[in-house]
Amino acid sequence: MKFLIPGSKLLIAAGVFAVTATAMADLEWITGGVPKSSEEKSQGAVVTDAPGGEGIPTLGNQEIVVGHLTTCTRVVNQYPIDSVNFFFQGKHNQVGYFAYFLAKPSSRIHTAVAECFSSAGTKLARYEREFKVSFIDNLLTIKNETYQWFLLDLTLGMDRVRPESGQTALIREPGLYTIHLTVDGQLVGITFFYVKPPESKAPSTAPTGVPASKGTSLPLSTPISSQPIRPPTK
C-alpha cells in the first residue's frame, strides 16, 4: 500500500505503520520483549535494559563538542608543536597536553578538568580551569551552527613535578597513561600516551681493529740498481 503524502517525514511514518507482524516480533525480541508469531502484543512492554525515566541526572551542558585532543612534546603559544603519544625515558622530560572544545553560546561559567592517570589507575595530576565568557565572546560558526570555543593546555613533567598543572607525582614508569577531560561534570574526551624505556642503540658496524694483511698494501718503487747496498768507504 502506498501513501501519496508529500514530505519525507510523513513517508517514513507511513512506512513504520506498514511493518509486518513478523518484523514487529523481531523488533520486540531485539528490544527485550518475547518474540511472537502473531500480532498479539503484551501490555506495557518496555525495554528491559533501558534506564528508568526517574533518577537520571540532567546536565546543564549537553552541547559539548571536542575539536582537538592530543599529547605533544611541547605547547608553544597555546598550540602543540607536534602530536606524540610515545615518550622515552632519558629522551623526553615532559608531556604536553592540548585540547579545545566547542559549546553552545551562553554566559555561564564552564569548568574544565583534566586528570592524568597511570596504568595502575593512580591519579598523577588534576588541573581545573574556569572559563568566564559573555554571550558574544569566542564565537565560531560551523554549518550555520554557532558555538563558543575554549582552549585548555598544560605540561606534565617527567623529570620534575609541575605544580602549576596540578601534578602530584612524576610520569616516569613505563606503561600506558590516560588523560580524562571533563567539562561541567561531563566526560567529553580521553586521550592516552605511552612511556617507553630508553631507546636501545643499534650495534656499531664499524670494525674494532685493522685486520692483519698478508702482504704490503702500499706500492713500492722499483729499485734503480740490482746491486746490494754497501756502506760508504772512508
Question: Side by side, which strands form the sheet with 65-72?
Answer: 65-72, 94-103, 145-157, 139-142
Cβ of 92: how many Cβ atoms within 10 Å?
18
Return the top range by mean pLDDT from 17-31, 182-196, 220-234: 182-196
Q: Contact, 155 vs 171, CB < 8 A?
A: no
Q: What are phi and psi of 47, to 5 degrees?
A: -75, 120
pLDDT of 35: 43
- Tell me, rounded to whole angstroms, the distance of Cα 183 from its chain centroid: 17
d(CA 101, CA 74) in angstroms, rounded, equals: 20
User: Taking the complete model, does pTM exceed 0.85, yes or no?
Assistant: no
Q: What are phi and psi of 11, to 5 degrees?
A: -65, -40
Residue bearing the bigger pLDDT, 111 or 134: 111
List, for residues 36-72, the tens digit of each pLDDT value. Answer: 444 444 444 443 343 444 443 434 445 788 989 999 9
Residue bearing the bigger pLDDT, 150 or 25: 150
State how far the alpha carbon of 103 is from the alpha carbons of 55, 128, 129, 152, 181, in Å.
Answer: 25, 17, 15, 14, 14
Q: Can you list the domains of the chain with their CATH numbers? A: 1-48 (no CATH), 65-196 (2.60.40.2550)
Task: Give residue for cell 502506498.
Answer: 2
pLDDT of 207: 58
pLDDT of 16: 41
